Amino acid sequence: MAESAVVPGLEGVPATQSSISHIDGTAGLLSYRGYPIDQLVAQSTYEEVALLLLDGELPDTSALERFDTGLRSHRQVKYNVREIMKFLPVTGHPMDLLHCAVASLGMFYPQQELSDAERENVSHLDAMAMRIIARIPTIVAMWEQMRFGNDPLPTRSDLNHAANFLYMLTGREPDPLYARILDACFILHAEHTINASTFSVLVTSSTLTNPYHVIAGAIGTLAGPLHGGANQKVVEMLEEIGTPSRIAGYLDTRLSRREKIWGFGHRVYKTRDPRAAILKDMMENLASQGHLRHSHLFDIAMELERQAGERLASKGIHANVDFYSGVLYHEMGIRTDLFTPIFAMARSAGWLAHWREQLGNNRIFRPTQIYSGASARHYVPASQRSCDTA
């Protein structure tokens, strides 16, 4: 096989066939199961979108009610998980905590191997997915309380998915406006075809391991700054810039060094990320209603997008979802290092939809390689080896 056959990063190489989501990178369109993302954000809820992703169709009222009731009733985690969390360093990143805690769930809710019948049982797979989707926000909110010396707050079955998370995170009655904004953010982040973490889901699922291992692996992949961690980097970048007057100099320096501008560019989109456009509109609405806490960051973000666009748009580099999601979470008073765990909370629905799809037509992933090492050699005992100092 010729060396030119290697495709770094597998860019453009189809790895699977999926009916879950679709991106038109040229037109800047994203759809879940055929439904445009802007329609789902405007008219649906995260609970409904999660079930759409899992089952392929918008649920009827009774099916949605059953799924929502299941989410509300399975938010609690075993006290043993909390005990594990107590022994982890409070200085650790919440993504490291989440990776550890989700992996540990498999010991308390064991499902070592799915039989052929179970892999074909839609209700059984939905129930497994629902429990994982329900518990990830609980773990994130528990850690936010515990790392500051507080006991975790109990879950509330009277609140929806987003509102319950805000309550557990802050201990305050959730602002309905912020709960709806967070719900919209969950929808926007729920699924995005075969990105790095979703490819991790496919590979891990193909071994028929339990879904806790699958999701823990995806969380570890998402943690990287070139994937889910970019939204945290955006806010750090905006704080470093500090004022709109320093944007031009910042761009000059970064671009001259060929350094990344966080929140810009995407492997698939050749125009603006539609999720970024929706988030920007949401932020503009918040600003007009006086709901932004630190609007100077939003001012910097808007001006940075304008100036970066003048320099980069012709190269197909535009603002992506990470650019505004980090700013929006910051304005809601959410700590910066929680941005990526929130991404994981939302994306769990898409990950589990791909887990289910992989199980339906499974073949273990086993790619090949092009060897570039030494040719055949004979072993030489240590006493007969000499160091080449030339």
Q: How far apart are CA 130 and CA 106, in angstroms?
A: 14
Phi, psi of 319 (to 5 degrees): -65, 140
Among candidate residues 183, 273, 322, 354, the one labeled active-site is 322
At 352, list the tokens: 């589990």
Among candidate residues 266, 318, 330, 354, the one labeled active-site is 266
Q: Give long-range contacts, CB 8 A cutoff, 24+ apart: 122-130.
A: 122/55, 125/54, 125/356, 125/359, 126/51, 126/54, 126/55, 126/67, 127/70, 128/211, 129/54, 129/211, 129/349, 129/352, 129/353, 129/355, 129/356, 130/67, 130/70, 130/71, 130/74
Selection from 275, 246, 207 nearest residue 41 by Cα:
275
Phi, psi of 23 (to 5 degrees): -120, 130
Q: Are 218 and 326 a contacting pair, CB within 8 Å?
A: no
Q: How far is CA 9 from CA 13, 205, 293, in A?
A: 9, 20, 40
- Our separate counts of H helices and E strands in the chain read 17, 3
Q: How far apart are CA 54 and CA 235, in angstroms?
A: 32
**Close Cβ partners of 313 (under 8 Å, ≥ 6 residues apart):** none
At 194, list the tokens: 């075969």
116 is catalytic: no
**Close Cβ partners of 49 (under 8 Å, ≥ 6 residues apart):** 32, 40, 186, 187, 190, 349
273 is catalytic: no
Active site residues: 266, 322
